[in-house]
Chains A and B, each alone.
Chain A
Amino acid sequence: DAGVIQSPRHEVTEMGQEVTLRCKPISGHNSLFWYRQTMMRGLELLIYFNNNVPIDDSGMPEDRFSAKMPNASFSTLKIQPSEPRDSAVYFCASSFERAYEQYFGPGTRLTVT
């Protein structure tokens, strides 16, 4: 298996622009997680999907952030409009069973100037 796939690996954008991050979970996994990693706050869970349905989005920082999972093999995290404080590494992870044994993708390093 190729593991969790994320794209792009790096994204540099200007403040105010829309950013879309993409994730393909491991085939057969029914849970998908989006995390954000920064030096100041460490790894934070943003949102969790189970069977393509958003279950917990309490970690989404504000309305500028939205996530979708239209099918079992694809999810997006969108930031609109982006701000410099959104600069971070965003990880997608997937698992067979909720929080257990989550496998992370390589991440997308987002820089907002």
Chain B
Amino acid sequence: GENVEQHPSTLSVQEGDSAVIKCTYSDSASNYFPWYKQELGKGPQLIIDIRSNVGEKKDQRIAVTLNKTAKHFSLHITETQPEDSAVYFCAASFSNNNDMRFGAGTRLTVKP
């Protein structure tokens, strides 16, 4: 089955700086890689996703890159703001397998 590792477990940045979170996966058949943001007391919120036929995807200050050869993908947040502070989860799944595996999460703190 799929195994997803996520680093770092905690990340602290100054407001305005960039933040990068990295994940690796084990199953080369995985082809869908979403990122979720979870604020305290709330459910995970889908913020961006990428499919294996795309190498990079961007949505305003958030971007995700995928390297299928190396089996890793990353979340990039630019011009961070205090409201970006949350726990971020990466995940990976294979389209015909509904078992989406999540990384352990990264607690991002953006200091004003």
Contact = CB atoms under 8 A, between A and B. Distances in A.
Interface in A60-105: 91, 93, 98-105
Contacts of B102: 42-43
Contacts of B42: 106-107
Where chain A touches its partner, the secondary structure class is strand
Interface string A28-47: 00010100000000110100
Given A42-B105, A101-B34, A56 B99 contact: yes
Contacts, number: 56
A93 B34 CA distance: 14
B105 A99 contact: no
B62 to A, nearest CB: 16
B99 A104 contact: no
Interface residues of A, number: 24
Interface of A: 4, 31, 33, 42-43, 45, 48, 50, 55-56, 58-59, 91, 93, 98-107
A42 B99 contact: no
A2 B41 CA distance: 18
A71 to B, nearest CB: 20
Among A42, A91, A107, the most chain B Cβ lie within 10 Å of the Cβ of A42
Given A100-B32, A101-B34, A102-B34, A48 B44 contact: no
Contacts of A58: 99
Contacts of B44: 43, 91, 104
Interface stretch (B10-18, B64-72, B75-83, B90-98): B90-98
A99 B98 contact: yes
A107 B41 CA distance: 8
Contacts of A43: 44, 89, 102
Contacts of A105: 43
A102 B46 contact: yes
B86 interface: no
Contacts of B63: none
